[in-house]
Structure 1
Amino acid sequence: MKQQSSVQLVGWIVWWLENVLIIGGMIVMGITRLFTVNLTGTMIGGGMMMGPSHWMVGLGMLAGIAVLIWKIILQVVAYYAIQRLNDVENLTWPIVLIVLGFLGASAYLIPGIWGIIVYYQQNNHR
């Protein structure tokens, strides 16, 4: 097994932080959803407009699920990019991380830009 470079180590730290944020966001959204289902419609007499069957609640849940799926796709791609970040001969994976940074996971800009810097430093020393 190859020893991890500092760029790859930072990539893994960012990857785990993103995972914690995604899971934490899911937990907070779930708790918020449970709390609002218990309160709406019963406290103020909201009926259909305040109840959980309102179309805006469903639309919000669909949007939340779409964002969650998008974040999971980004995490899977980032996993493979960080795993291959040790290869200083290849500029592809730092660029993939930079693209992921612009597509929604901005913390991936750090290992992506750092990987490009290391790539050019390694090629200048040859």
Structure 2
Amino acid sequence: MKNKENLTGAQIVGWIIWWFVTVILVLTLIAGMIFKPTSWIVNIVLVILGGLYLAQQIIVFFGLKRLHQNNGYVWPIVMMIIGILGSLLYIIPGIWALIINNNRQKEAKNK
């Protein structure tokens, strides 16, 4: 990960959201262990949803590290898609990074 001084505002907000969602997932997992559902269908649904959110967190982890890679649009768009499909809060750093990367590309063209 980059030094904290080199992180953009979009990345800082993204990491705050990432930790928030991760803590919620862990607390939900602990609550699920304490209050076990009796239905096997509920157990299967919870395992599937937990796996999807774990995959989301892994993708977002790498997305936040590469958010401004080559001032491209790929990772900000990935963040916005994950925000739409998963945790809505990820839309914020996605849009913010898209604006930053777009401005950097315009500045690079003008030089």
In structure 2, runs of 5+ residues without a counterpart are none
RMSD of equivalent CA atoms: 1.6
The answer as to whether partners of 1:4 and 1:86 remain within 8 angstroms in 2 is no
The equivalent residue for 1:20 is 23
Identity value in percent: 26
CA drift at 1:112: 0.4
Cα distance in 2 for partners of 1:89, 1:122 equals: 7
Are the equivalent residues in 2 in contact too, given 1:101–1:108 (CA < 8 A)?
A: yes
- TM-score normalized with structure 2 length: 0.85
The structure 1 segments of at least 4 consecutive aligned residues displaced by more than 4 Å after TM superposition are none
Where structure 1 has 5 or more consecutive residues not aligned to the other structure, the ranges are 37-51
* Shift, 1:86, TM fit: 3.2
Asked whether the equivalents of residues 94 and 116 of structure 1 are also in contact (C-alpha less than 8 Å), the reply is yes
- Equivalent residue, structure 1, for 2:63: 81
Q: Report which of the two has the higher share of helix.
A: 2
- In the TM superposition, what is the alpha-carbon distance from 1:124 to its structure 2 partner? 3.1
Aligned-partner Cα distance in 2 for 1:108–1:88: 21
1:98 to 54, 67, 80: 80
